[in-house]
Amino acid sequence: MKMLQKTASAILASSLIVTAAQAQVSDDEIRIGYLADMSGTYRDLSGPGGLEALNMAVEDFGGQVNGKKIVVFSADDLNKPDVGANTVRQWVDERNVDMVTGMVASSVVLAASKVVEQSGKLALISGAAASSLTNEFCSPNHIHWTYDSYALANGTAKAVLASGGKSWYVLTADYAFGHAMEADITKVVEADNGKVLGKARHPFPTSDFSSYILQAQGSGAQVIALANAGSDTVNSLMTASQFGVTQSGQQLAGMVVFLNDIHAMGLDVTQGLMLTTGWYWDMNDESRAWAQRYFKRTGKMPGMVPAGIYSATTNYLNAVKASGSDEAQTVRKQMMATPVNDMFAKNGTIRADGRMVHDMYLVKVKTPSESKGEWDLYNIVRTIPGDEAYRPLAESKCKLVTER
């Protein structure tokens, strides 16, 4: 009996030691790394604007959590996987960074997230689109926050199919994100008895889309889907406009189009375009108030990626505060147990695969006569419930789901 009591006491003491060790902030600082394209194709998508959103979240905490200072590092990944991976490795080895956020080009994110997982840290992915990040490439060390290719294809492609667009041609950025989007589009189209007549993959990035648009026109498809993003999407749409694609009866479906893209091209070019977004600045009073704060700092209204970065960072810092720790799994567990209710999402939840599930929005770009201001660009057509927007866990290939 005494032996059992001693064993029980030892186990209790051991668990208390572990709990005490976890309920600590390493180095007495919460260290965050912001990794993004700061100078290239995706600069306007996140870049300096995403860093500004992160800084807003830090400032809203007064620069500290439970008396522990928040320190932010930032770097340009140049849209190169080796640069991104090496940067994160250096941050972990030399600066003991606890969490990495931003993370835009999916190829960079796939490389960097492996380093995060190997080092036992945490990544909050807000810019990348590839749905594979929470499917075959999921890990217990990253959370995909803002949107993904499955949700965008599910929203936009279904809407276009419902309007009669049954034959498709897909123009794809030739890297991980584009491939994931192409696969998600194909699945949605074929599930609704549509047909993909052809596909073309272009290098990332590309400036001249003439030959690709001509191929798409020549296919005779009713719909030309653009499985690319950033300046590639802008260049695709501008070239399609110059070649009279929509005037010839074909419909353009921008699968990954952002607010800054629409603003850059103008409503004369983009009016009537259907797209899916995870957030819009003019949705409600809370989103408008936060957007005005952001606008005063940057001179631009935020798209969904900066808003997602702010939301993810805020929820991360709240989890550190609640748990008293910056240890990755402790924080992740706390975040999974806490619904997301902020200016970005209501009743959002983090699933076992690392997908933050929240409502998405099908929008239609306004005509010039409908718009009442420079950034008044969207009409919300439909709210897509989160459990409808994202890949069902029943279809998941994620090891965190299939091995449970």
pLDDT tens per residue across span 77-94: 999 999 999 999 999 999
Residue 145 has pLDDT above 70, yes or no: yes
Position with higher pLDDT, 197 vs 19: 197
> What domains sit in the chain, N to C, each tagged with a CATH number?
29-147+284-358 (3.40.50.2300), 150-277+360-389 (3.40.50.2300)
Residue 247 has pLDDT above 90, yes or no: no
Average pLDDT value for residue range 329-339: 98
- pLDDT of res. 23: 62
Report pTM. Answer: 0.88
Residue pLDDT, tens place only, 336-360: 999 999 999 999 999 999 999 999 9
- pLDDT of res. 355: 98
Structure confidence at residue 309 as a pLDDT band (50, 70, 90): very high
- pLDDT of res. 41: 86
Average pLDDT value for residue range 17-32: 73
Average pLDDT value for residue range 139-156: 95
**Amino acid of residue 4:** L
- pLDDT of res. 8: 42
Give the range among 49-58, 86-95, 154-163 with minimum mean pLDDT. Answer: 154-163
Residue 53 has pLDDT above 70, yes or no: yes
- pLDDT of res. 18: 37
Residue 258 has pLDDT above 60, yes or no: yes
Average pLDDT value for residue range 331-338: 98
Structure confidence at residue 13 as a pLDDT band (50, 70, 90): very low
Map tokens 């294809």 to a residue: 153
Average pLDDT value for residue range 212-228: 95
Residue 266 has pLDDT above 90, yes or no: yes
Average pLDDT value for residue range 275-299: 97
- pLDDT of res. 269: 87
Average pLDDT value for residue range 363-373: 95
Residue 153 has pLDDT above 60, yes or no: yes
Average pLDDT value for residue range 232-236: 92
Structure confidence at residue 1 as a pLDDT band (50, 70, 90): very low
Which residue, among 214, 224, 289, 291, has the nearest Cα to 251 in the 3D structure?
224
Residue 179 has pLDDT above 90, yes or no: yes
Residue 11 has pLDDT above 60, yes or no: no
- pLDDT of res. 274: 84
